[in-house]
Structure 1
Amino acid sequence: MHILVYDGAEEQDFIGPRDVFGHAVHAGGAVETSLVRPGGPGEVTCAFGTRIVVDQGWRPTEADILVIPGGGWAKPDGPGVHRLRSSPTVLDGLRRAHRSGVVLAGVCTGVMALSAAGLLKGRPCTTHHLATDVLAQEGGELVSSRVVDDKDVVTAGGVTSGLDLALWMVTRECGAPVAARIEAVMEYEQRATVWRRD
């Protein structure tokens, strides 16, 4: 499993899922997680100034699941998801990942990178409330749910929704008992019902 991080990424959007997936290992889940960075290894400066060193570059077809956090939506000219949306390399990488069978999981406005890649047209999805109008204009079928599971694309709306998305992915891939053990350790329970395509 990979979590894509980039300059301007919202800290909570990727740290929450990283924490959940880390606890999954101790709860009996067969989960391996790496932070990856577009363009290769290097330092990332996040939305609130946190600096992290990412040791691994993003290779679109290497993971089973790719989590894309959001960040910077309110500042179109600054670092953040708008730069992902305008990067042909990133958008092509998302399309390649999707074609190769990688499950794409967008958190908050990270969903908007998937939308810019054309991967949400005509599909049920959600995002942060400040971006829903754009998502609808780009062809996404908005669902009023915290987490929307459309099989090979999973989306979550809201800054803290990364926790819920990650717990749902653990439930889906490793089973409810593993997710329940994580919830107990983190003293956090998944919020709301997951909308899931039959």
Structure 2
Amino acid sequence: MDVQIVLFDGFDPLDVLGPYEVLHLGGGLAGGAVSVELVSAEGARAVPSGLPAVSLTASARLDPAAADLVVVPGAAGSLSLDPTEEGSVASLLARAGRGPLGPALREAVERPDTVVATVCGGSLLVAWGGLADGRPLVTHDRGRDLEGTAARPVEARVVDDGDLVSAGNVTCGLDLALYLLEREIGPQVAHAVEQVIRLERRGTVWRSAA
């Protein structure tokens, strides 16, 4: 499983690094069955997060055609959902969506063989782009009603709608990555990763189909 985790200016580091470590570790325990890279819509570059002291390096351009799984993080900033407030989570997400990331995410969502997974505010980035209309979705508590979108809000830590899987607040990204390992690679690998990082997943994954 080839995984691309998206970086954009203002991303939340924990939304990225939690899933990255879980998926990377799972790949090692599964004999290389999972590969993970950090990407951006602009290509290889240093990408500043929403925390002043933290930046990460994208090694390649986001390429949905080459990815089995695309992970979209949220942003780190003030918790206002006013997209006109400089430095707010909403403004950072809106800015990212207006750039080249917007069309790239649309391509990822529309590809039948690519799974898109969102963490926290990453769900809003997808929903505000009209890419989750009518679909079940969860995001950060502050945006739980998904106002301004046509997505269907669900109260759960992780929501599985087939090729669109979403996670709630920031620490739910760990649950998301473990669940995807279980779903795509197998429960033995997910269990092994849980043992290594000493994390017990909480809650029940909401699924749109049995």
Which TM-score bucket, shorter chain as reference?
Answer: over 0.9
Q: Is 1:57 aligned to residue 61 of structure 2?
A: yes
Distance 2:13 2:122 in 1: 12
Q: How many residues are aligned here?
A: 196
TM-score normalized with structure 2 length: 0.88
The equivalent residue for 1:71 is 75
* AA at the equivalent of 2:190: A
Superposition pairs of residues 94-105 of structure 1, within 5 angstroms: 94-101=105-112, 102-105=114-117
Instruction: Decide whether the 8 Å contact of 2:41 with 2:104 is kept in 1.
Output: no
Q: Is 1:93 aligned to residue 104 of structure 2?
A: yes
Instruction: Decide whether the 8 Å contact of 2:71 with 2:119 is kept in 1.
Output: yes
The equivalent residue for 1:22 is 24
Distance 2:180 2:153 in 1: 20
Instruction: Decide whether the 8 Å contact of 1:72 with 1:82 is kept in 2.
Output: no
Superposition pairs of residues 28-177 of structure 1, within 5 angstroms: 28=30, 30-49=33-52, 50-72=54-76, 74=79, 76=83, 77-78=86-87, 80-87=92-99, 89-101=100-112, 102-133=114-145, 135-177=146-188
Q: Can you list the C-alpha shifts for 1:72-125, whole angstroms capped at 9, x where unaligned? A: 4636433732212333x3222111112222111010001111102212111111
Distance 1:83 1:61 in 2: 24
Distance 2:16 2:201 in 1: 16
Unaligned 5+ segments in structure 2 are: none
Unaligned 5+ segments in structure 1 are: none
Work out the percentage of aligned pairs sharing the same amino acid.
Answer: 36
CA-atom RMSD in angstroms = 1.6
Distance 1:66 1:126 in 2: 17
Instruction: Decide whether the 8 Å contact of 1:44 with 1:51 is kept in 2.
Output: yes
Which segments of structure 1 move beyond 6 Å, counting only runs of 4 or more? none
Instruction: Give the superposition deviation at 1:17.
Output: 0.2
Distance 1:92 1:82 in 2: 13
Instruction: Give the superposition deviation at 1:137.
Output: 3.2
TM-score normalized with structure 1 length: 0.93
Instruction: Give the superposition deviation at 1:136.
Output: 4.0
Distance 1:195 1:71 in 2: 24
Distance 2:41 2:160 in 1: 25
